[in-house]
Amino acid sequence: MGELYASFIRPKEINLLYLIPLFPLIGAFINGIFGKKIQDKLGKRANHGIAIAMMVAASGVALYAFLGMLIKQPAGHRMLHDHVFPMIHIGSLHLNFAFAMDPLSGMMTLIITLVGTGIHIYSTGYMHSEKAYWRFFCYLNLFIFSMLLLVLGDSFAMMFFGWEGVGLCSYLLIGFWYTDKKKASAGMKAFVVNRIGDFGFVVGLFFLFWGLGGYWQKGQYIDETRGAKDMVTLTAGPSVLPQSGEFVAVDGFTRKGVTATWIDPAHAAHHPGESLNLLAEGKGGPGAGAEQVSVVVGPTMSFNELRGQLSITDGGGRRPLAEHLAKKKVWGVPILFFVCLGLFIGACGKSAQLPLYVWLPDAMAGPTPVSALIHAATMVTAGVYMIARLNFLFVLTPGAMTVVALVGVMTALFAASIGLFQYDIKKVLAYSTVSQLGFMFIGVGVGAWWAGAFHLLTHALFKACLFLGSGSVIHGMHFLEHHGGHGGGDDDKPKDNRLAADPHDPQDMRNMGGLRRLMPKTRWTYWIACVAISGFPLAAGFYSKDEILWKAFSGGNILVSGKLIWAIGLLAATMTSFYMWRSYYMTFWRREPTAEMKEHVHESPLSMTSILMVLAALCLVAGPLLGFPMAFSGKEPLLERWLNPVTSLAPFRALTHDKGLEIGLMMVSITVAALGLWAAMALYKDESKTADKLLRLRRQNDGVHKVVYAKYYVDEIYNATVIRGYMALCRVLAWVDTYIVDFIVNAAGAFVRGVGWLSGKIDKYGVDGAVNGVATLVMAGGRRVRKMQTGRVNNYVFGIVAGVMLLFIVTVVAL
């Protein structure tokens, strides 16, 4: 056994991170408990005042923690940790209520707090005529709290709390207008589908906890009992480990009372003891010659401890614990495959991937700011975040990574194709979101963790901008609900698709058109976001999407050819460009606005447009700033460098570094984006010229259009298989319940009733008869004997005398 090395990130303990989720929780509490009263007495201004103040406070703390503390840490130990209180300590399970901020969660925290604040401000405009204003802001704050818990939690358990919390808030907000049955059931659908995913998450977690039983080779740490958690101190060899900073001892804080084993690197000897004592003796600290690092080994829920033990490396560059975990099998399949697959199913549920994506399009029933915040920018990216966070785990199972990448690319293509023919502007954006999430999963699936996270970031910006822009449009088109629009058409017949099925629907793009002059600010911000999402250079989406596609093309981490994924992804990107520009032209161009629209439609208030402008500006800036490609600058992009400490254990294996090829593929990407734009422009920019062409095209491809427009009948298939099957099962069970279980229960009941009847009779005539008989006897006797009581003293005296005489006689005679 040679020397062992480990790379353990030693977090800086800072009692501040808990404030970030605490503020929104306070806001949710105040608005949830006193919101109605506040709204009645002080007005809506006070409601959103509280909510926004809490968001600003949370953002402030997050920015301070990020800029003031996290960046200043050395790269190898860039992690802030906040231990709030110990939660559960049972056996080998040590759970603390603790937060951790590393580069990845820091990035997420900033997205959540800053985009969240913006959307809170936007909501004040969008929801201003809402009666249950307080309830809306309560839910929004509660959501931010849960999301921050998910992102900042330092263990699987904390993440799971947030994971469930955001699911709850999503349900509450989708069904915000719960009097509408369709909206309420959309909320339920989201919740139920998410539960399926959560089940996978939990199962994966259990497999992982079980799999971390221990093991090691040759007399060093063998503990398959899963009972004990140990801490071992190892030499750190910076040369062996990628991108690791200097190594120091682990802080004893989270490890209080844990038995540790100090392994003398020179003699490979064991010195067991209590960890804090070992640290005090200097055995856990940096040694004189070689540097040392303490790593917790054994079952753990903490991300950092998990990462630390998987990082243990021996002199030959092998990782004994990671290899042991990767080799461990159940039912002939590596346990890690189950772990990663389970976690990925969880991610599929939350991040709306095939086949669990069905809830997200329906989730658009919620208020538009909610769609922007939860169902585009933050919550749906939780799955991507989780896989990026667990990169060191996923990288051990190429099989699971392949599944992730394939599901991602299939989803990207599938959802993009549905988006092609939707008329509801929010539905287009919803399928676009599903599709973009697919791109993110391609990124993390092929091992380009930072590219997935980068696309997550840029998508949060441009999709929030798009959704809020669509909200602004819907806000403007709201008059349709009260006024009649133009005549209606029948959805099923390809007669005239210029007319909406429902002329009162403010979300139907067929009711829009020509809004570019009426809503200039909305139009330009929407335009910028479209440029960003469809992947034109200099806007955010180009850098992130292209990075993902390039990494897919050149990567060697997965089992199938990356070029296939690249090709499908490119097709999806083409579609993305087309449907986004289609929505832009249908909404803002297409035709001159009607007189009615000119009268009623106006630009949204500043509270809404200002947020749009900020997001649009970020869409332009964020891409080149954070992800300028290495092919041009020669340097790693800023975000990649920033996320390096997080992903150092799971390096991307590039098969080619050909710069020319990369630039060439980039050109291809730009070309397909332009192709999408050109097609959309040609078909939708001016209705008067293109209507016939459109109609002809549609007639020619009526079958395809029908299937795609109906979303491939996925909902119907689910209905026919899963729901029908489930209902059939329910009916069978109901039959069993009615005729078998109930029969047994009733028979048992009848039997008991018979016994009871018998017992009653015995009681009535047997027991009661005896008791009553005795009583009657005593009463009758008493009636007789009572006569003796005359009440006369004299009689008694005679009685006494007679008695005495009798006794006397008896005594005398007897003796």
- Smallest gap from Cβ 804 to another protein, in A, equals 10
Tell me the C-alpha distance between 122 and 113, whole Å.
14
Place of tokens 């940790």: 81
Which one among 798, 803, 807, 810 touches another protein, defined by CB under 8 A?
798
| Chain length of the chain | 815
Residue 473's nearest CA partner among 580, 376, 583, 617 is: 583
Residue 37: count other Cβ atoms within 10 Å of its Cβ.
11
Q: Measured from the CB atom, is 656 or 795 closer to another protein?
A: 795
Q: What is the DSSP secondary-structure string of 342-367?
A: HHHHHHHHHTT-TTSTTHHHHGGGS-
Assess 809 for contact with another protein (CB under 8 A): no
Q: Name the DSSP letter for residue 713.
A: G
Q: Which of residues 770-789 bind another protein (CB under 8 A)?
A: 786, 789
- Which residues lie below 8 Å from residue 645, measured CB to CB, with a gap of 6+? 9, 75, 76, 77, 78, 79, 102, 103, 243, 245
- Smallest gap from Cβ 801 to another protein, in A, equals 6
Q: Measured from the CB atom, is 730 or 797 closer to another protein?
A: 797
The helix (run of H) or strand (run of E) holding residue 333 is strand 333-334
- Smallest gap from Cβ 812 to another protein, in A, equals 16
Assess 805 for contact with another protein (CB under 8 A): no
Q: Measured from the CB atom, is 482 or 784 closer to another protein?
A: 784
Which one among 85, 595, 791, 815 touches another protein, defined by CB under 8 A?
791
Q: Measured from the CB atom, is 703 or 791 closer to another protein?
A: 791
Tell me the C-alpha distance between 298 and 227, whole Å.
9
Assess 792 for contact with another protein (CB under 8 A): yes
Assess 790 for contact with another protein (CB under 8 A): yes
- Smallest gap from Cβ 807 to another protein, in A, equals 15
Q: Measured from the CB atom, is 181 or 786 closer to another protein?
A: 786
Number of residues that bind another protein (CB under 8 A): 10
Which one among 779, 793, 813, 815 touches another protein, defined by CB under 8 A?
793
Q: Measured from the CB atom, is 179 or 789 closer to another protein?
A: 789
Cis omega (within 30 of 0) on the bond before 24? no
Q: Measured from the CB atom, is 704 or 797 closer to another protein?
A: 797
- Smallest gap from Cβ 756 to another protein, in A, equals 44
Cβ atoms of 461 and 544 within 8 Å: the answer is no
- Smallest gap from Cβ 774 to another protein, in A, equals 23
Q: How far is CA 76 from CA 247, 389, 647, in A?
A: 8, 16, 11
Q: Measured from the CB atom, is 789 or 811 closer to another protein?
A: 789
Q: What is the DSSP secondary-structure string of 444-489?
A: HHTT-HHHHHHHHHHHHHHHHHHHHHHHHHHHHGGGGGTS--S---
Residue 423's nearest CA partner among 347, 371, 496, 519 is: 496
- Smallest gap from Cβ 809 to another protein, in A, equals 17
- The one-letter code for the residue type at 314 is D
Q: Measured from the CB atom, is 740 or 806 closer to another protein?
A: 806
Q: Measured from the CB atom, is 788 or 815 closer to another protein?
A: 788
- Smallest gap from Cβ 808 to another protein, in A, equals 13
Q: Which residues pair with 721 in a beta bridge?
A: none
Residue 141's nearest CA partner among 173, 111, 187 is: 173
Interface segment toward another protein; rule CB under 8 A; list 249-257, 483-491, 737-745, 793-801: 793-801
CA 672 to chain centre: 33
Q: Measured from the CB atom, is 755 or 801 closer to another protein?
A: 801
> 331: buried, middle or exposed (CB in 10 Å: 19+, 13-18, 0-12)?
exposed
Structure tokens at 602: 């106006």
Q: Measured from the CB atom, is 738 or 790 closer to another protein?
A: 790
Q: Measured from the CB atom, is 288 or 788 closer to another protein?
A: 788
- Smallest gap from Cβ 794 to another protein, in A, equals 5
Assess 267 for contact with another protein (CB under 8 A): no
Assess 794 for contact with another protein (CB under 8 A): yes
Q: Measured from the CB atom, is 752 or 805 closer to another protein?
A: 805
Q: Measured from the CB atom, is 482 or 786 closer to another protein?
A: 786
Instruction: Provide the terminal-to-terminal Cα distance of the chain, rounded to the nearest Å.
Output: 113
Q: Which of residues 532-591 bind another protein (CB under 8 A)?
A: none
**Residue window 737-776: x/- pattern of binding to another protein, with contact defined by CB under 8 A:** ----------------------------------------
Q: Angle formed by the axes of helices 449-476 and 103-110, to 10°?
A: 10
Q: Measured from the CB atom, is 729 or 801 closer to another protein?
A: 801
Residue 680: count other Cβ atoms within 10 Å of its Cβ.
22
Tell me the C-alpha distance between 38 and 29, whole Å.
13
- Smallest gap from Cβ 775 to another protein, in A, equals 20
Cβ atoms of 170 and 363 within 8 Å: the answer is yes
- Smallest gap from Cβ 811 to another protein, in A, equals 18
Q: Which residues pair with 236 in a beta bridge?
A: 291
Assess 797 for contact with another protein (CB under 8 A): yes
Assess 129 for contact with another protein (CB under 8 A): no
Q: Measured from the CB atom, is 736 or 804 closer to another protein?
A: 804
Tell me the C-alpha distance between 753 and 750, whole Å.
5
Cβ atoms of 464 and 665 within 8 Å: the answer is no
Phi-psi region of 431 (alpha: psi -120 to 50; beta: other; left: phi over 0): alpha
Tell me the C-alpha distance between 323 and 215, whole Å.
10
- Smallest gap from Cβ 760 to another protein, in A, equals 38
Tell me the C-alpha distance between 589 and 585, whole Å.
5
Q: Measured from the CB atom, is 269 or 793 closer to another protein?
A: 793
- Smallest gap from Cβ 797 to another protein, in A, equals 5
- Smallest gap from Cβ 777 to another protein, in A, equals 21
- Smallest gap from Cβ 806 to another protein, in A, equals 15
Assess 801 for contact with another protein (CB under 8 A): yes
Assess 41 for contact with another protein (CB under 8 A): no
Given CA atoms 219, 308, 346, 88 in this order, what sign does their dihedral have? positive
- Smallest gap from Cβ 795 to another protein, in A, equals 9
Tell me the C-alpha distance between 300 and 257, whole Å.
15
Interface segment toward another protein; rule CB under 8 A; list 85-93, 670-678, 696-704, 797-805: 797-805
Give the three-class secondary structure for 314: strand
- Smallest gap from Cβ 758 to another protein, in A, equals 44
Interface segment toward another protein; rule CB under 8 A; list 170-178, 235-243, 360-368, 790-798: 790-798
Tell me the C-alpha distance between 290 and 266, whole Å.
10
- Smallest gap from Cβ 786 to another protein, in A, equals 7
Q: Angle formed by the axes of helices 659-684 and 540-554, to 10°?
A: 130
Q: Which of residues 436-465 bind another protein (CB under 8 A)?
A: none
- Return phi, psi of residue 261, to 5°: -120, 125
Q: Would you tell me which residues interact with another protein (CB under 8 A)?
A: 786, 789-794, 797-798, 801
